[in-house]
Structure 1
Amino acid sequence: MKRVHRVLVTVTTALTLLAAPTAALAAPERAQRAGLQEGLDDLTATSAVGALMEVRDEDGVWRGTSGVAELGTTRKVSAHDRFRMGSITKTFVATVALQLVADGRLKLDDTVETWLPGAVPGGHRTTVRHLLNHTSGVPDYRRTLPMPPTQEFLADRLRTWTAAELTRRAVAGPPTFEPPGSEYAYSNTGYALLGQIVEKVTGRSYGEEIERRIIRPLGLRGTSLPGTSPRIQGPHPHGYVPVRQDSGTRLVDFTEMNPSVMGASGEMISTTRDLDRFMAALLGGRLLPDRLLDAMKTPGVENGTYGLGLRWRDTSCGVRGYGNDGDALAYQSWSFTTEDRRRQVTIALTPDFRGDPDDTVDALVDKALCD
């Protein structure tokens, strides 16, 4: 889900000590690699319990870690750990939707009303393209839910949500803007609708389609769609959220939670290796024909940076990185690849909410794609 409320709480000195940096795995003795490790260590010194990173470039593969996998222990983060990828899930869902377009089973200009009658007010004017690039004006259901640091948030941690239920909550209010296509406003509801459309088109859930069309063909062994299962299968760091209590605000282990609240907008679990492999396959034309990959890179609004499920960022050296970022509350991740696929970077962290990691992550992504 979209990144929210990063700076929420001041954490004790003990937490800082627990997040002490660890050494990179097999890091070459080069200034660039040392700089990457320093960046990871800065993350755990200021804003994260643990962090992991993979960089692929002309020098090979570099993996680094910092911090601990679980508070109260000395267990180090592993470079191969799994994590909740949040909104990077949207790039997988968008890829499946565009594959259905390539197959002639779906059109970008099909309306929501065509596939999901009555689901959205004004659905006859809202298209699949609008959902993909966040120009639908359909309100974000996340804004209707309790969020950290409220106590009410924890009461829903194991609740099963349906996409239809979340959509109804969102559209109970007025549209974010009108008409569809006139502005950009990030909406998790748009991808909840896309997941339902994929099911209508194929007769299978979006999760089954992602498994069949992407995960198995690419051999993404650490990637999964948990559905309603609260557990992360395989090795993983613990994730935490701040919760307000009588004695103040403290971090609560939120590793186990029912990810149906994120659904097609952010439920997936993966690894740095798998996300780099997926982005390389996508940008290399293995998953979509050129015309649809080009459409994926086309912004929904003038001067925008978000196309059809794909985001981009321009670096200090003038190189553009394509990919996405995700926030699953207790986990945050970023995955970007240059258009020529010569350089890739994926970063994941478990935030501790002492500070905002964005500037440090931005610098790490920039360094990985430029140096």
Structure 2
Amino acid sequence: MRRRLLIAAAVLALGGCAGTPPQDKAGELAVGKFKSALQDGVLLLRPARGSMQVVTAQGQARIEQPLANEAHTRFLVGSISKWITTVAVLRLVDQGRVDLDKPITFYLPELPRESGRVTVRHLLSNTSGIPNGLAQALKQDRAATENSKLTPSQGALRYGAGAPGFEPGTKFDYSFTNWVLVGAIVEKLTGLDFQQAIKTLVLQPAGVRDTGFANDAWTSMPQAALAYDKEKSKRKMSAMPPMVAASGTVYSTAADLVAIADAVYAGDLLSGKSRAELLTVQHAEENYALGGRVRDIGSGAAKRRVIWNGGVIGGYKTLLVYAPADGAAVVLLNNTDIDQSDQNKLAEALLDELLQAH
């Protein structure tokens, strides 16, 4: 009883109304207990791989027009981009073109000698120690940095050439600059611009059609949700210079995110060894593996190891929770700056209901 009251409290904190009742029994039970999900956004529930996905959408994708959020509305997904980038790197590993434990200077010899202490694994786990030159540039001249047209390869040399500030692998530093360097490595090895490389390595093989990279035309793109502050009084959008594509400028839908996860964990997109790398925690205090977090949720027969990929960019708050063992999934996409802690609590409660009911 106490558990149900706690779950109800998490839901009431977010408000909203229910979507169409699903046909899948486990999904029906979960939605039956959660009569609301997001104030503004999209919720996807799936009890297991092969079962029906239940999608609820509410609120406004665009307040000025107005335009309602729908199941297929596209959202910027923030740092979920890092996980998609990591999948691309692991495809290159499977092709024998990348070794996670080789120095990054092997792939980017133009970097200074001190960078040879850093491996690709350090970049993907945010433990490189390379100073966050991009963050420093934003402090010095935000407008010029945000409006920059530098590619990842160009940005890597300008912002990622500092000597490590701590011994690589010993500390966690959630740095944009790590991912500018990752983007540069992908470009160097594929001979493609970063965005095209991700399409070729991940998006096209996964068969998704509503996922890509946002640019200056994002606000006029069909089916794109814009982001607002909590009061819905003004837009809350962030700049998206090309060099940060690897860390945060992907847009997607709830269904596409689950489709990519299915391709990764249940398809042939990656080898078993590379899938294991995605689930191996590199920094225990942060539950951080490669490109995202990994957590154990639930208890007893309902316990699952899940990928827990959250994203923030402007007023977009997004979360992909996915259990590789059976494909149970919860996706929450919000465009009115919901508190991440509320989003996380709701996701835990929803996943618990799905696992208990299935």
Q: Normalising by the residue count of structure 1, what TM-score does the alignment of the two structures yield? A: 0.78
Question: Does residue 163 in structure 1 map to residue 152 in structure 2?
Answer: yes
Q: Can you list the C-alpha shifts for 1:267-315, whole angstroms capped at 9, x where unaligned?
A: 1111000100101111125211111211221121346522222421222
In structure 2, the residue matched to 1:335 is: 320
Question: Does residue 360 in structure 1 map to residue 349 in structure 2?
Answer: no
1:206: Cα distance to partner? 2.5
User: Of residues 20, 25, 28 in structure 2, which corresponds to 1:25?
Assistant: 20
1:130-169 aligned within 5 A: 130-141=122-133, 143-144=135-136, 159-163=148-152, 166-167=155-156
In structure 2, the residue matched to 1:35 is: 33
In structure 2, the residue matched to 1:116 is: 108
What percent identity do the matched residue pairs reach? 26
Q: Is the 8 A contact 1:226 1:259 kept in 2?
A: no
Amino acid paired to 2:298: S
- Point out the more displaced range, 215-224 or 132-141: 132-141
Q: Is the 8 A contact 1:251 1:352 kept in 2?
A: no
Q: Is the 8 A contact 1:137 1:179 kept in 2?
A: yes
Amino acid paired to 2:47: D
In structure 1, the residue matched to 2:335 is: 350
In structure 1, the residue matched to 2:77 is: 85
Work out the CA distance in 1 between the residues paired with 2:283 and 2:124.
12
1:300-319 aligned within 5 A: 300-302=282-284, 304-317=286-299, 318-319=303-304
1:183: Cα distance to partner? 1.9
Figure out how many residues of one structure are paired with residues of the other and give that number. 334
Amino acid paired to 1:56: R
Question: Does residue 281 in structure 1 map to residue 263 in structure 2?
Answer: yes
Q: Normalising by the residue count of structure 2, what TM-score does the alignment of the two structures yield? A: 0.80
Gaps of 5+ in 2: 1-13
In structure 1, the residue matched to 2:206 is: 218
In structure 1, the residue matched to 2:254 is: 272
In structure 2, the residue matched to 1:187 is: 175
Q: Is the 8 A contact 2:112 2:161 kept in 1?
A: no
Amino acid paired to 2:349: A
1:170-209 aligned within 5 A: 170-171=159-160, 175=164, 177-209=165-197
Q: Is the 8 A contact 2:137 2:145 kept in 1?
A: no
User: Of residues 44, 52, 70 in structure 1, which corresponds to 2:42?
Assistant: 52
CA RMSD of aligned residues (A): 3.2
Q: 1:240 to 1:119 in 2, by over 3 A?
A: farther
1:146: Cα distance to partner? 5.2
- Point out the more displaced range, 360-369 or 119-128: 360-369
Q: Is the 8 A contact 1:312 1:323 kept in 2?
A: yes
Q: 1:172 to 1:190 in 2, by over 3 A?
A: closer
Work out the CA distance in 2 between the residues paired with 1:270 and 1:343.
19
Gaps of 5+ in 1: 1-18, 45-49, 243-248
Work out the CA distance in 2 between the residues paired with 1:36 and 1:159.
44
Q: Is the 8 A contact 1:138 1:170 kept in 2?
A: no
- Point out the more displaced range, 64-73 or 126-135: 64-73
Q: 1:115 to 1:211 in 2, by over 3 A?
A: same
Q: Can you list the C-alpha shifts for 1:70-91, whole angstroms capped at 9, x where unaligned?
A: 3356643111100111111111
Amino acid paired to 2:63: L
Question: Does residue 65 in structure 1 map to residue 57 in structure 2?
Answer: yes
What SS is found at the alignment partner of 1:53? strand
Work out the CA distance in 1 between the residues paired with 2:116 and 2:340.
43
Q: Is the 8 A contact 1:93 1:206 kept in 2?
A: no
User: Of residues 86, 91, 99 in structure 2, which corresponds to 1:107?
Assistant: 99
Amino acid paired to 1:284: A
Work out the CA distance in 2 between the residues paired with 1:136 and 1:346.
30
Q: Is the 8 A contact 1:239 1:254 kept in 2?
A: yes
What SS is found at the alignment partner of 1:204? coil
User: Of residues 208, 215, 238 in structure 1, which corresponds to 2:226?
Assistant: 238
1:345: Cα distance to partner? 1.6
